[in-house]
A and B are shown apart, each in its own frame.
Chain A
Amino acid sequence: MSLSFEKKKPSGPLSVARARFAAAMVLLFSASTAWARVRWNFETPVTSTAHEIFHLQNLIFGVCVAIFVVVFGIMFYSIFAHRKSKGHKPATFHQSTTIEIIWTAIPFLILVAMAVPATATLLKMENTSGSALTVRITGYQWKWQYEYPAQGISFFSNLSTPTAQIENQEPKNKHYLLQVDHPLVLPVGEKIRFLITSKDVIHSWWVPSFAVKTDAIPGFMNQSWTKIQVPGTYRGQCTELCGLGHAFMPVVVKAVSQEDFAKWVAAQKALMVASAADATKTWTEADLLGHGKTVFAANCAACHQITGQGIAGTFPPLAGGKKFSAAASMMQKLRHRGFLTRGDRIVMGPVKNHLRIVLQGIPGTPMPSFASQLNDTDIAAVVTYERNSFGNHTGDVIEPSQVAALR
């Protein structure tokens, strides 16, 4: 095109056309990126450890790129210069002890130079002493439990993205899969120690902005720490394959000022008093069903499915009309404990049996004990919901006091 030389500046109509084209391209591109920008590197670090690791990784990456360019620069020069098609005759050399020693020694020295800052950062990361606050984190299939032993606070944190969004029936919101009902609340500017364990399989608790990733392993109590510099909401995920809900147990941390944290602690304590009062009042069926549906979605639906149909051969159905089928180990343990012998179902059978299964779980199978996870009101509500949904019409209404009596 001659345009670039003849016209120093694009004329009016042309620049308009260009602007339109640019706008069209932006629209076209943003149609696919309407939600978020592509990120090429770590989340913005907000702790000193995360900062150090960020710089460490950029340094190592830079060194790797430099070596790559030098080595393959030489190789590609050879590819262009030493071709047979250019009439290049092969040399015959095939040995040089000197050069072998050089290219063993130089990488070794580069590695030593990398290991020094890496070791320094590692030793800081491993030092969990001198913390102001301890939080106990327990992994469950598929949620996190957060406990503040000194404050007496304990709660569960479940994915709050609606199933309809996962199944593409509703548009996905901004924090799709990275939002929870109860985030972990932490104060900024204080060294916080995490004690991390699991109740079932191995999970891993990760917040990229803190550079904290620690496996939650049943029978082990792992430690790590963080000191958050900037208030804000930080999101992460479980990073150890833990079964079918692995992608659906995010970590959300709300970092607040120390005053706000004190207020939050007071509010949590008040809430616990209120929930204790709930357990003593008499609930109506409608209230129980409403609350039960929420509890079911957060705690039971991952396995038994939101429809109560279960997954044949693995997770038993709760719907009465559906053939009972579960993993062999579970069937065996249920029979051993006297269930299913007369063809009766857990959900349709005696209320006490149903409550016992929910409270105690079935050891050795994925069915966990909910005694420590849910309070009496929650269990009463969810059992009422299960016995009166998915086509089940037992008409049973279970009060929290009935649950308390079985504990």
Chain B
Amino acid sequence: MASATANHEEHPAGLKRWLFTTNHKDIGTMYLVLSLLMFFVAGSFAMVIRAELYSPGMQIVQPYFFNELTTMHGLVMIFGAIMPGFVGFANWQIPMMIGAPDMALPRLNNWSFWILPFAFTLMLTSFFVPGGAPGTGWTMYAPLSIQAGIGMDFVIFSIHLLGISSVLGAINIIVTILNMRAPGMTLMKMPMFVWTWLITAFLLVAVMPVLAGTVTMTLADRHFGTHFFDAGGGGDPVLYQHLFWFFGHPEVYIMILPAFGIISQIIPTFSRKPLFGYESMVYATASIAFMSFIVWGHHMFTVGMPAAGEMFFMYTTMLIAVPTGVKIFNWVATMWRGSLTFETPMLFAVGFLVLFTIGGFSGLMLAIVPADFQYHNTYFVVAHFHYVLFSGAAMAMMGGCYYWLPKWTGHMYNETLGKWHFWLTTIFFNITFFPMHFLGLAGMPRRVPDYALQFTDLNRVASIGAFGLGLSQLLWVYVIYQTVKGGRKATSKVWDGAEGLEWTLTSPPPYHSFVTAPTVK
């Protein structure tokens, strides 16, 4: 026993520490660093896209390369920046929030992470093979994906790897939450972040295999003579879309539910008041997750679906607005008659509330089938999903980063720079994406490298905003670097309104979070 304990306390240094670590904090850090790196990789693709769209005509890139960039921007942001980012938060926070020493399956945890660098190497290598990366958009619709060069196969295999990583990570999270909670922490006493991740993990286990199967069918159509999606061989191109969006819509909630969790931690802390309607928040999250499985058809209203199908998907999609609305109202009610302060995490949370709601409203507009016929595949859709994914998922992660960074590093970040980061991000975000609503209404299709002259002015505004938005994120990296290196010592509680087990640990927390389980009353 003594030797086992000694062995447990051994921390290899250098590269080996990171390669062989089974520690939830080390693995969480690696997930977060990878996510930040991928955020900049995919962001740099967006910068080239916006530079090309600054003026009508082809200036910087060729049309095919432009399509490669839109594809890879989407894939890398979704699978590289957002998903691993939230897994990083889960790794750091879940054991600390439920009073556990580590994740339940530490070696699996190591493996889930180390699959990712290989997966992204494979995915990004596709740029350098003959024919380049796929120019199909991240949706990879057949038959366009059947035409693409060998880069498509690279992306298919990397999606297999990413799927394995996600499913293993999700299983680990489910097992940890269900088995390792401290005595007295019943399910209905768990912090909201833990609840949202439990539900997200079930979504991941349910739909990542669907995506893996779908891209495998594409692979078979490309190389093994099958005709799943080839009408000429008796297959069905629309089947691909049904399968893809059966994965794709729950995927949207995989990317937003953990964000809801982070916001539900931040707002009560800085309102100095408990979360309003905890139980209804849990039920709302669960019903959003359930409904995410029955709305996929709203991505496909123009494929020639029968009216009955269009009505079904319209009504179910509109219904999702109800639990989502409940969450927004609960957050506002939490702030109501609180004792509010506005440190950087709270600024991001309030920014999230306002901007995510704009994305929610444009989503509701898109659900109205007749109007969707006008919005579908235009810049209105681009505006919509950036309001939910950037000002939703990404800004929640920024807020979460400022919220927990003092706990993780033991240092306070620079509040002035943090606030600058918030305001620059919010202002440039809106300059970039708000005009895109109007571009879409006026008729500009998405995924075009060139456009008609009446779209010039708003594209210029969007491009200028995008460059500002991209540059502002460098400030974030600087603040993180500065905080990791040093700074004012953080107390255990960090924020005077903070509640929860993680704040009972020192800042930074010990290597094994809770060696003896705390008791929750």
A interface residues, Cβ below 8 angstroms from B: 32-33, 35-43, 49, 52-53, 56-57, 60-61, 64, 67-68, 71-72, 74-75, 78-79, 82-85, 88-96, 99-100, 103-104, 107-108, 111, 114-115, 118-119, 121-123, 125-126, 165-168, 172, 174-178, 200-202, 204, 206, 208, 211-215, 217-220, 222-223, 235-248, 311-314, 325, 327-329, 363, 365-366
Contact = CB atoms under 8 A, between A and B. Distances in A.
A238 B453 contact: no
Contacts of B481: none
B206 interface: no
Nearest to B238: A217
B274 A237 contact: no
Given A41-B441, A90-B271, A111-B319, A83 B340 contact: yes
Interface string B356-391: 011001001100111101101110000000000000
A175 B452 contact: yes
B451 interface: yes
B252 interface: no
5 contacts: A38-B458, A43-B442, A64-B361, A79-B342, A118-B369
Given A118-B369, A174-B453, A126 B144 contact: no
Given A32-B456, A43-B442, A61-B365, A88 B339 contact: yes
Interface in B401-421: none
A99 B333 contact: yes
Given A245-B63, A246-B67, 4 more contacts: A78-B335, A103-B326, A111-B319, A313-B130
Given A78-B335, A211-B374, A213-B374, A68 B358 contact: yes
A53 B311 contact: no
Nearest to A100: B280
B237 A328 contact: no
B337 A90 contact: yes
A367 to B, nearest CB: 10
B277 A311 contact: no
Task: Give 9 nearest A-B pairs by CB, closest first.
Answer: A219-B231, A313-B130, A247-B448, A222-B304, A35-B453, A36-B454, A39-B442, A64-B361, A91-B337
B337 A325 contact: no
A103 B497 CA distance: 27
B445 interface: yes
B273 A36 contact: no
Interface residues of B, number: 101
B144 A243 contact: yes
Contacts of A244: 62-64, 67, 135
Contact of A177 (B59, B144, B450): B450
A247 B449 contact: yes
Given A68-B358, A107-B325, A108-B322, A168 B453 contact: no
Contact of A168 (B57, B141, B273, B377): B57
Given A114-B368, A241-B447, A84 B460 contact: no
Given A166-B450, A201-B143, A213-B374, A104 B130 contact: no
B371 A103 contact: no
Given A39-B454, A202-B141, A84 B322 contact: no
Chain A CB within 10 Å, residue with most, of B137, B271, B333, B365: B333
Contacts of A92: 273-274
Nearest to B358: A68
B304 A214 contact: yes
Contact of B445 (A56, A100, A237, A311): A237
B142 to A, nearest CB: 8
B430 interface: no
A60 B378 contact: no
Contacts of B302: 204, 213-215
Interface string B268-286: 0001111111111000000
B54 to A, nearest CB: 12
Given A41-B441, A246-B67, A121 B341 contact: no
Contact of B337 (A78, A172, A211): A78
Contacts of B231: 217-220
A226 B329 CA distance: 42
Contact of B274 (A94, A213, A365): A94
A328 B150 contact: yes
B365 A57 contact: yes
Contact of B303 (A40, A82, A172, A217): A217
Contact of A237 (B277, B376, B443): B443
Given A78-B332, A312-B130, A40 B64 contact: no
A183 to B, nearest CB: 16
B186 interface: no
B136 interface: yes
Contacts of A64: 361, 364-365
B443 to A, nearest CB: 5
A60 B371 contact: yes
A88 to B, nearest CB: 5
Contacts of B279: 95
A296 B136 CA distance: 26
B362 to A, nearest CB: 8
Contacts of B340: 78-79, 82-84, 88
Contacts of B325: 103-104, 107
Contact of A167 (B58, B237, B454): B58
B509 interface: no
B149 A313 contact: yes
B371 A57 contact: yes
Contact of A239 (B62, B273, B303, B445): B445
B335 A75 contact: yes
A71 B272 contact: no
B293 to A, nearest CB: 20
Contacts of A89: 339
Contacts of B111: none
A349 to B, nearest CB: 23
A215 B303 contact: yes
A16 to B, nearest CB: 30
A32 B56 CA distance: 12
B322 A79 contact: no
A241 B376 CA distance: 12
B449 to A, nearest CB: 6
Contacts of A213: 302, 373-374, 376-377
Nearest to B378: A239
B135 A200 contact: no
